[in-house]
Amino acid sequence: MRRTIGALRAARVLRPAGRFLVCETRAGTVGGYAISDSGLAVHLRHGSRDVEIFNEIFGRGRMAYEPPPEVATTLDVLGPLRVSDLGGNIGLFGVYALGRWTVATLRSYEPDPANAALLRATIAANHTTARWDLVPVAVSNAHTIASFETGLLSESRLAAADHRSAKTIEVTVVDLFEQPPVDLLKIDIEGAEWAILGDKRLASHPARVLVLEWHSRMCPAPKARHAARGLLEAAGYEVIDKDLSDTPSNGVMWGLRR
């Protein structure tokens, strides 16, 4: 029932809606669709959490990345934005950013091969290769090689210490603080954010606006939301909370430097 409701919600903003609903009965297939409001293209894996995440970002009445008013004002006056998307997944945040703001450059970091393939297809379908780059690596606060759990769709992630499975691969990890400067930094990396948030260099990172999905996974403190808020404030951001879900294990907050 939940999956059916989710499919109907998505069909309200996807075109062609009929083909989307038919394909939702064929789990495991991939479909390309246009968002009715913007005309921008997305690619979704049917019968998967991709559709749920699509609804979280684009569903009417619940837009996870719509900024609070004070953040929106800052972003709207910054001019063409330089955007960095840590945890690009299949490109949904990138598509949202392109539809919401004037974007000069957009760089998505996504090491999971299956996710990256759909993200690459979405970039091509939107004819945005001149300003939207896919970097197929993970991001942390140091250059290294690390174990990465693949095949988990949106929850693919850097592996915890000493964890390996049949779907664990080795990936390149780049240092966020050596990447090109940006105005808007989005971080959703399934618990790997804590190394970045705890790095003192975050205080001098050029992003005026940061949107973070924090996770209790790998959090060094017992209360993840409190820890994320404290680290962002220590880095000079004014923090505005915006929950992605009702669960205590993750949520969205915005950081703003005025």
pLDDT-based confidence at residue 48 (cuts at 50, 70, 90): very high
**pLDDT in the model for residue 73:** 95
Confidence check: pLDDT of 112 > 60: yes
Note the CATH number of domain 64-256.
Answer: 3.40.50.150
Q: Are 250 and 214 in contact, with CB atoms under 8 Å apart?
A: yes
Angle, vertex CA 97, rays to CA 178 and CA 59, nearest 5: 135
Domain boundaries, the chain: 1-63, 64-256
Closest CA to 89 of 38, 143, 166, 152: 152
Question: Which amino acid belongs to residue 104?
Answer: A
Residue 134: phi, psi to the nearest 5? Answer: -105, 125
Which pTM was predicted?
0.95
Decide: 135 and 171 in contact? Cβ < 8 Å.
no
